[in-house]
């Protein structure tokens, strides 16, 4: 794996003093997430459409693709960690694992057609040292449909209420796809609740542009609905070729993923009643003008071959959020946390340990950090 780091060096002081908020890291300084200043005219123009990989290409995906992280999620009795809580009149299902310690709690937020099991390969490792929570958003997983209309702002309020009810704040928040959209909204709505923010192939940077193009928007919606409908069949997950056919738009090499993690993490969450309304909410809401309000450390992680949300959207987040860093994972699709779990978890671990200096968040580092040498090299 060879992630690349890139950050923003522009100064956008809005006069509110939000950028000057204190940020302390308990661990030593690190340059794992460097800031490279790249002239805008030199930025590579990346295509908005990524074609699915051929089935045979999976053999070249690298040794870390589809690898089960340690400890193995299959060794956990997940039912004993499941709980329910009423938030805004809706029963919300969540998993709560790990013990309170010196490290801040970790909160995972799934994406469209997802559920808490999207994070099966990530929760066991981090629950060894901290409290870890992952929820089913209303309308997904085992959570009921809300009485209130689903919007990104509503979901932001739900996650904020969950943090308050479970006494998680300030938490490290990690969101994938729509979950990244919601997590960023949370950081804007309730900045004191988010200590650090990791956005994984997050929606929210270009969906309004897509919505203005009926042909492109229609194609993406049809692809998502077709994937959801086909993948609902349990037997699909058991056959490598069918996994590839059903999920090639979601993961780069579905045939390399284990059948059980495919079913639990990608198939089982499809077909829920909140899908259509949540998809519409993603296409209708534009918060790009508010992204500069985010004042916590931010890491943006993307799959180079994401066929759902283009990797160029990572640059939008980095450009609009002062001090944000970017890591692109080669030959990886829309769910890096499942596709290359050990590598993703290493990135998250290093982000948690990264020592934040105040000027970094201000976008006023005197000199850009150099790129890492030999870190996370793809095998």
pLDDT number for residue 174? 98
Contact between 331 and 339 under an 8 Å Cβ cutoff? The reply is no
pLDDT of 210 > 70? The answer is no
Top-confidence residue, 371 or 220 = 220
How do residues 164-203 score in pLDDT, each as one tens digit?
999 999 999 999 999 999 999 999 999 999 999 999 999 9
Q: Provide the residue ranges of all domains of the chain, joining segments of one domain with +.
A: 18-350
From residue 222, alpha-carbon distances to 111, 245, 250, 283, 294 in Å are 17, 15, 14, 14, 33
From residue 377, alpha-carbon distances to 1, 94, 103 in Å are 5, 35, 28
Confidence tier at 40 by pLDDT (50, 70, 90): very low
How do residues 52-68 score in pLDDT, each as one tens digit?
899 999 999 999 999 99
The dihedral region occupied by 337, where left means phi > 0, alpha psi between -120 and 50, and beta the remainder, is alpha
Pairing mode of beta strands 82-87, 106-109: unpaired
Top-confidence residue, 328 or 2 = 328
β partners of residue 134: 95, 108
pLDDT of 373 > 70? The answer is no
What whole-number percentage of the chain has pLDDT above 90? 62
What is the C-alpha to C-alpha distance for residues 283 and 50, in angstroms, rounded to an integer? Answer: 20
Residue with tokens 């589809």: 66
The pair of three-digit structure tokens given for residue 353, joined into one six-digit string? 């340990």
pTM of the model: 0.81
What is the C-alpha to C-alpha distance for residues 239 and 259, in angstroms, rounded to an integer? Answer: 8
The pair of three-digit structure tokens given for residue 52, joined into one six-digit string? 């699915």
Give the homologous superfamily in CATH for domain 18-350. Answer: Alpha/Beta hydrolase fold, catalytic domain (3.40.50.1820)
3-state SS class at 103: coil
Buried b (16+ CB within 10 A) or exposed e, 290-314: ebbbbbbbbbbbbbbbbbbbbbbbb
3-state secondary structure 267-288: HCCCCCCCHHHHHHHHHHCCCH
Confidence tier at 302 by pLDDT (50, 70, 90): very high
What is the C-alpha to C-alpha distance for residues 377 and 379, in angstroms, rounded to an integer? Answer: 6
What is the C-alpha to C-alpha distance for residues 208 and 217, in angstroms, rounded to an integer? Answer: 10
What is the C-alpha to C-alpha distance for residues 259 and 66, in angstroms, rounded to an integer? Answer: 10
């Amino acid at each position: 794996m060879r992630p690349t780091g890139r950050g923003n060096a522009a100064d956008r002081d809005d006069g509110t003093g939000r950028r000057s908020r204190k940020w302390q890291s308990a661990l030593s300084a690190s340059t794992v997430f460097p800031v490279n200043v790249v002239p805008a005219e030199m930025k590579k123009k990346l295509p908005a459409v990524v074609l699915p990989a051929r089935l045979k290409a999976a053999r070249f995906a690298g040794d870390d693709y589809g690898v089960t992280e340690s400890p193995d999620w299959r060794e956990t009795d997940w039912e004993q960690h499941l709980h329910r809580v009423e938030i805004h009149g809706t029963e919300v299902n969540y998993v709560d694992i790990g013990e309170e310690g010196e490290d801040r709690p970790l909160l995972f937020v799934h994406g469209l057609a997802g559920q808490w099991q999207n994070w099966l390969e990530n929760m066991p490792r981090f629950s060894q040292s901290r409290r870890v929570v992952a929820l089913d958003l209303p309308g997904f997983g085992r959570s009921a449909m809300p009485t209130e209309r689903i919007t990104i702002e509503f979901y932001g309020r739900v996650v904020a209420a969950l943090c308050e009810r479970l006494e998680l704040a300030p938490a490290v928040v990690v969101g994938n796809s729509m979950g990244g959209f919601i997590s960023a909204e949370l950081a804007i709505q309730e900045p004191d609740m988010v200590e650090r923010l990791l956005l994984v192939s997050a929606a929210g940077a270009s969906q309004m542009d897509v919505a203005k193009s009926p042909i492109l928007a229609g194609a993406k919606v049809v692809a998502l609905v077709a994937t959801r409908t086909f993948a609902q069949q349990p037997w699909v997950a058991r056959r490598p070729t069918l996994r590839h056919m059903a999920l090639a738009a979601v993961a780069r090499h579905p045939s390399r993923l284990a059948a059980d993690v495919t079913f639990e993490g990608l198939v089982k969450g499809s077909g829920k009643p909140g899908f259509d309304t949540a998809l519409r909410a993603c296409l209708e809401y534009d918060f790009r003008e508010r992204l500069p309000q985010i004042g916590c450390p931010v890491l943006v992680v993307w799959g180079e071959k994401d066929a759902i949300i283009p990797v160029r959207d990572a640059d939008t987040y980095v450009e609009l959020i002062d001090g944000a860093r970017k890591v692109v994972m080669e030959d990886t699709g829309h769910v890096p946390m499942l596709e290359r779990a050990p590598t993703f978890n290493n990135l998250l671990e290093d982000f948690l340990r990264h020592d934040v200096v105040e000027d970094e968040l201000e976008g006023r580092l005197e000199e850009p950090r150099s790129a890492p040498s030999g870190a996370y090299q793809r095998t």
